[in-house]
């Protein structure tokens, strides 16, 4: 049940359910299914119809929207997307998240911060979630190219959308939805002024993409390159905590 409180004291009910299909994807799935049935039933082209029908099922799967149990620690920053951590780098935040935009709300401060990049494949859940709770201060869309999201220059050259969240304590967290080689449409569910709970759905990117998270100054990543993360559940950092994280590849 959405919104149910779960903890490590036994509250909650174990079980598996078919994930819901997000409304944004239902129309695409229905169009694909209708085209498949037309080819299969009306034209009687079984060689083409059956693969198309299987592909239409894949379209529905792409837009699946499972429920997530969001960790509630005040200083936790969680993954905004399902996928693989592809890069952890020290960079300057995008100018669009720094400069005065005339809204009266400050952007991210200048200076190097840690950026965690998460790459999604077409098989991942593509619903994006906010890594921190607070008020949406900026939503900045930038048109661009559609090169592979795994390339570093995708952060500066691809179609992308920056979102800035300001927490109740004034700490600001920025993140960016980046279209990839296949992804051609960034969809956002939020606007400036919206108040979000941590882990709340904020948008999606159709058919493969990347999410960059800019951690607050003085905060290191709590994940490693190559690690698989889950949107709304995996803790990727704790504000103000700086640790060397080590692991063994097995």
Q: Which residues are marked as active site? A: 209
Token duo for residue 108:
């991210």
Count of other CB atoms within 10 angstroms of residue 148: 14
Q: In whole angstroms, what is the distance from residue 106 CA to residue 97 CA?
A: 9
Task: Say if residues 128 and 205 touch (Cβ distance below 8 Å).
Answer: yes
Q: Are strands 76-78 and 83-91 parallel, antiparallel or unpaired?
A: unpaired
Task: Say if residues 218 and 240 touch (Cβ distance below 8 Å).
Answer: yes
3-state SS, 189-217, equals CCCCCCEECCCCEEEEECCCEEEEEECCC
Q: Are strands 134-142 and 228-229 parallel, antiparallel or unpaired?
A: unpaired
């Amino acid at each position: 049940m959405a919104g149910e409180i779960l903890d490590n004291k036994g509250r909650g009910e174990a079980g598996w359910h078919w994930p819901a299909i997000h409304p944004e994807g239902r129309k695409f799935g229905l169009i694909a299914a209708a085209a498949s049935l037309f080819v299969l039933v009306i034209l009687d082209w079984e060689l083409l119809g059956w693969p198309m029908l299987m592909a239409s099922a894949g379209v529905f799967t792409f837009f699946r929207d499972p429920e997530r149990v969001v960790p509630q620690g005040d200083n936790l920053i969680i993954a905004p997307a399902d996928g693989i951590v592809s890069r952890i780098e020290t960079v300057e935040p995008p100018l669009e998240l720094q400069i005065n935009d005339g809204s009266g709300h400050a952007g991210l401060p200048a200076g190097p911060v840690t950026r965690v990049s998460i790459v999604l494949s077409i098989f991942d859940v593509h619903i994006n979630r906010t890594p921190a709770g607070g008020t949406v201060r900026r939503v900045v869309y930038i048109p661009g190219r559609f090169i592979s999201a795994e390339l570093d220059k995708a952060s500066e050259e691809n179609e992308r959308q920056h979102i800035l969240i300001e927490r109740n304590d004034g700490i600001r967290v920025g993140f960016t939805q980046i279209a990839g080689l296949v992804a051609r449409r960034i969809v956002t569910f939020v606007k400036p002024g919206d108040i979000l709970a941590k882990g709340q759905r904020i948008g999606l990117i159709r058919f493969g993409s990347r999410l960059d998270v800019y951690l607050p100054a003085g905060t290191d990543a709590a994940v490693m390159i190559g690690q698989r993360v889950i949107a709304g559940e995996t803790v990727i950092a704790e504000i103000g905590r700086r640790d060397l994280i080590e692991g063994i590849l097995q």
